[in-house]
Structure 1
Amino acid sequence: MTVLPVAQILHDHAHECVTTVTLDYASRFLRRKRLRTDAGWAFVVDLENTRSLDHGAGLELTDGRMIGVRAAVEPVLDVTGDLPRLAWHIGNRHTPCQILPDRLRIQRDPVIRHMLEHLGAGISEVDAPFTPEGGAYGHGRTHSHEHGASAHV
């Protein structure tokens, strides 16, 4: 069986997908990798640069079929309390954070958990999809303060 490569990544094309691939947060950050869909067939991602795949993205194969990207359920912490203050402390530590209407969601990390509890946060261990904010200077993850050409002064 031929393993087809991804031709392009499209945003918000879940309605066109013939199957899905479910990946945790770390696995959605990739450049070159052979993956297997939830239906069991293999395909290859071979990108020029490392990319962060968002939940809901579509991976169009060279034969035109579309694979939807789904965020896997993984161990996370749901954080409640003074959300603006807690979000500031989470962001100050460059910790990926998903912002929900009534709570913040972060990956399980005992050091960050201890800090947040010390700040009065309520912490719940849950298993849920993790789809954090991508950053102010473009889609995907940010790993430094180097933003290239931007309005950042």
Structure 2
Amino acid sequence: MKCIIKLSEAERHTLQQMSVNHRHRDIRTRAAGLLLLANGLSAPKAAGALDVSAQSIYNWCRLWKEQGLCGLLSGHGGGRPRALSEAMLATAAEVARTESKTLGQIAKRIEAVHGEPMPCALETLSVALRREGFSFKRNRFSLKKSATRKTSR
């Protein structure tokens, strides 16, 4: 099957910008693949240059011809689903907002409210709460270096 794409200057510019600047790697790869096809490369050679299968190139070509830019953007699956459910995240945000607790204490409160163990690590909980606008400082209960030096002499 022959994949030949004719691009206008505006389409070429849009695909060039997408291949460099889009936030999702798979969309950047699709845009680069279409640019390679528009420059006259065959689908198998373009696939080899991008380290994808030739069938992917044919699929992108078909989507571009049928739906244009929208077809190219519609295939992004979004990646892995989040470990924390929205209900657990809401509980964590409420606990963090109302009380001064450590991440471990917030996790225990979530487990108590929802009746199931945390589906993720504390680091994941920390990232989710930071995404919600919370920040944490780690408490240190160690002595200063100067105090330990004086006592060891």
* TM-score scaled by length of structure 1: 0.20
Relative contact order, higher structure (CA 8 A, sep 6+)? 1
Name whichever structure is richer in helix by fraction: 2
Higher strand share: 1
Q: Which has the larger radius of gyration?
A: 2
TM (norm. structure 2) is: 0.20
